[in-house]
Amino acid sequence: MLKTILIVVILFEFLIIGHEFGHYITAKKVGIKINEFSIGMGPAIISKQKGETLYALRAFPIGGYVAMEGEDDDSQDERSFNQKTIPQKMLVVSAGAIMNYLMAILILVMMFMYIGAPSTTIKDVVEGSPAAVSGIAPGDTIVGVNGVEADEWSIITEEIQKYGEGDIVAVDVLKGDTDEVVTMDLQLFLNEQGMPAIGVYADYERNLIYSVKKAFAGSVDLIFVMFESLRMLISGEASVNDVVGPVGIVSVMGDAAAQGVIYVMYLSALLSVNLAVVNLLPLPALDGGRLLFLLLCGITKKQLDPNIEGRIHYLGFVLLLVLMVVITVKDVNQFILH
């Protein structure tokens, strides 16, 4: 359990540091003065003043923050946040969530590189399958199915799945330097999903282009999962009892670690997307709340008093802390006491 807690703490800090670094580097690029960049919360353990910015490592590894000049007060410094244009402010505010999304993609790329991509070369042939009966052997390469050129494994499976039990399929196979077209009957052979198949397994290879494509597609799927979860919470199809906090995440991460590194990487990508989406919700204290105020200012052409906005975000922060305490108590009852 201690090892799992340590992994979760490191993972959270990694994701939060990435989030805050997104704010930091974007603010620097648009010329905003950064007063402090801190990792963790509470009293500083190590701090160093470099130029105009204080860099600090703080005692409690439960977050981090970037303190920008004029972010929550009416600073007259020309390099303050509140002196920048609305598009610049919106870019800085949204940069944290964008960074988390990019981090999720990076994690997924590494995951798919670790898994490897299915090539069109055969690794194993199921004994008695249509492929085995037709003479296909490990090491052969499938280059086409029913006249359709196949340079990806997904094309092979898609073409075969167009046909049903008892259909005849023509498979173009490269055996060394010899190109052969063999026909096979799909009669009475089903794969693990109960679909007619020819009975072959692909050899896997590490492919960066494939991994990047799969990572982008996977990240979009994770976003849809997040929005579907939010929709279910709002509609009442799911309840707060289905939401987990840090304690629940430790339990889930422990289960993932027991199943292998792939599950941990996937859960890490999900958490990064979660952090991005939740931070963009239009609630006070979250980046989405700040974006909402900026959007209203852009529409009305009126600037809200930064001190008033700061108080609203502070109240929102307190309410979020209360919610976190409630979820933590619920998690303790659910995952520890029961």
Q: What's the pLDDT at 69? A: 92
Q: At residue 279, what is the residue type? A: N
Helix ranges, 236-305 (H): 246-259, 261-279, 287-300
Is 192 considered catalytic here?
no
pLDDT at residue 12 in the model = 82
Place of tokens 């670690």: 257
Question: With left for phi above 0 and alpha for psi between -120 and 50, is residue 48 left, alpha or beta?
Answer: beta
Confidence of residue 46 (pLDDT cuts 50, 70, 90): very high
CA 60 to chain centre: 25
Catalytic residue, from 20, 69, 159, 309: name it.
20
Q: What is the mean pLDDT of residues 21-34?
A: 96
Specify the amino acid at residue 335.
Answer: F
**H/E run at residue 213:** helix 208-235
pLDDT attached to residue 221: 92
The SS3 assignment for 304 reads coil
For 30-170, where are the alpha helices, taking DSSP H only? 86-115, 130-133, 153-160
* Predicted TM-score of the model (pTM): 0.80
Could you report the per-residue pLDDT of 53-66, keeping only the tens digit for each? Answer: 999 999 988 788 99
Q: Could you give the percent of the chain with pLDDT greater than 70?
A: 93
Name the residue among 86, 26, 102, 94 with its Cα closest to residue 289. Answer: 94
Q: Give the pLDDT score at 159.
A: 87
Q: Which of 34-43, 199-208, 248-257 has the lowest mean pLDDT?
A: 248-257
Indicate the range of 120-134, 169-183, 253-267 predicted with least confidence: 253-267
Distance from C-alpha of 272 to C-alpha of 260, rounded to nearest angstrom: 19
Q: Tell me what the mean pLDDT of segment 158-187 comes to.
A: 85
**Residues 71, 93: contact at Cβ < 8 Å?**
no
The confidence score (pLDDT) of residue 327 equals 75
Tokens of 258: 């027991």
Residues forming beta bridges with residue 36, ordered by sequence position: 54, 67
Q: Is the pLDDT of residue 324 over 80?
A: no
pLDDT tens-digit map of 121-156: 999 999 888 899 888 999 999 999 988 999 888 899
Residue 1: the pLDDT is 61
Q: Does the pLDDT value for residue 165 go beyond 90?
A: no
Sketch out the chain's domains with CATH numbers. Answer: 2-115+210-337 (no CATH), 118-205 (2.30.42.10)
**pLDDT of residue 333 exceeding 80:** no
How many Å is the Cα radius of gyration of the chain?
27
* Percent share of the chain, pLDDT over 90: 39
CB 157 within 8 A of CB 198: no
**Distance (Å, whole) CA 219 – CA 110:** 13
What does the pLDDT look like over 299-310, one tens digit per residue?
988 877 777 887
Q: What angle is formed at CA 37 by the lines to CA 34 and CA 43, rounded to 5 degrees?
A: 130
| pLDDT at residue 250, rounded to an integer | 65
CB 199 within 8 A of CB 132: yes
